[in-house]
Amino acid sequence: MEVQLNKIEAIEREIERLDDESFAAFRDWFIEYENSRWDRQIEADAVSGKLDSLIDEALAEYRAGKTKSL
């Protein structure tokens, strides 16, 4: 765990040293990277069936008329 914290702290220090333009480029890259990881996780959860109970619950609420149009 300590090694991991040292790595994170080193990354934080490097980020703090970025100029505004470099920071903006890093931020854009990181947001895209985070979104990509999230998409892969959701896809894996859907394939594995982890989301089935949520889907069933949402469909039941829809069929019962408990939803609103967007």
Q: Where are the domains of the chain?
A: 2-63
Per-residue pLDDT of 18-62, as tens digits, reads: 999 999 999 999 999 999 999 999 999 999 999 999 999 999 999
- Give DSSP secondary structure letters for 23-58: HHHHHHHHHHHHHHHHHHHHHHHHHHTTTHHHHHHH
How remote is the C-alpha of 36 from its chain's centroid? 8
pLDDT band (50, 70, 90) for residue 70? confident
pLDDT band at 1 (very low <50, low <70, confident <90, very high): low
Q: Which amino acid is at 70?
A: L
Instruction: Give whole-number Cα distances, 62 to 17, 42, 43, in Å.
Output: 51, 22, 23
* Per-residue pLDDT, 36: 98
| Whole-number pLDDT of residue 49 | 96
Location of structure tokens 């609420």: 61
